[in-house]
Every structure is written in C-alpha cells, then in structure tokens.
Amino acid sequence: MSWLDNNSNILSWGSEEFCIKYISPIDNKPHRYFPDFIVKMRTRDGTLKTMVLEVKPKKQTIQPEIRKRITKQYLNEVTTWGVNQSKWKAAEEYCLDRGWVFQLITEDHLGL
C-alpha cells in the first residue's frame, strides 16, 4: 500500500470500496465480492486507467490437482478454487463493462 501512496502516477486508490455480485458454485446463490483494491492511475502515455486488484496467495490462483484421496484440506482447496473462479469471472465482466482492468496479484508480483 505504501507503493500506491508513494507512486506519483497513482491518482487515487481505495480498499474494498465496492462490491460485485456473483453466483457461488457451492450453493448456487448470489453473494457479494469486495475486491481488495481499486486504483486510478495515469499510464506512461498519459492516459487514465482504472484497475481492480485482487491479492491472493499464488496457491489459490492455481487449480488443485485431482487426487484419489479426498481429504478435508483437498475439499477446502477445491471449494476455494471454485468460489474464486466465480468471483474473478464476475470481476472481469464488471471491469470490462466499465473499461477497467481486473488483475490478480500474487507474491510473485510483490517480489516476496
């Protein structure tokens, strides 16, 4: 967050400022998703750009491998993956409708 505060190209940013409705594949009911950040910035060519950012551990951004042994941990991973996929699809559509960009950020992007 200090990077957002200290970057002169960032015009404004907020955390969990709005919600996006999505249907959960777990219960097939509507839910609300609050993306981590919305960032309004000036690009290198001087145009304005709005980005919606979601910060997640890399492990949650990769589909779990199918396993023969169904453990509680495996079920949790599959559930998390399914819900995240629904959230991210809704976020991509929401952003596309507005001319914004949706991006996932992992520890790889943050240099951790």
pLDDT digits (tens, 9 = 90+) for 37-83: 999 999 999 999 999 999 999 888 888 888 888 899 899 999 999 99
Residue 111 has pLDDT above 70, yes or no: no
How many domains would you assign to the chain?
1
Q: Which long-range contacts (CB under 8 A, 24 or more apart) does 104-112 make?
A: 104/53, 104/54, 104/55, 104/56, 104/61, 105/36, 105/53, 105/54, 105/55, 105/56, 106/55, 106/56, 106/57, 106/58, 106/61, 107/57, 107/58, 108/58, 110/55
Please give the residue that has the higher pLDDT: either 67 or 34: 34
Q: How far is CA 75 from CA 21, 27, 66, in A?
A: 24, 15, 11
Residue 104 domain boundaries:
2-110
Residue 1 has pLDDT above 70, yes or no: yes
Helix, strand, or coil (residue 54): strand
Mean pLDDT confidence for 82-97: 97
Average pLDDT for the chain? 92
**Two structure tokens written together for 15:** 């955390």
* pTM, to two decimals: 0.86
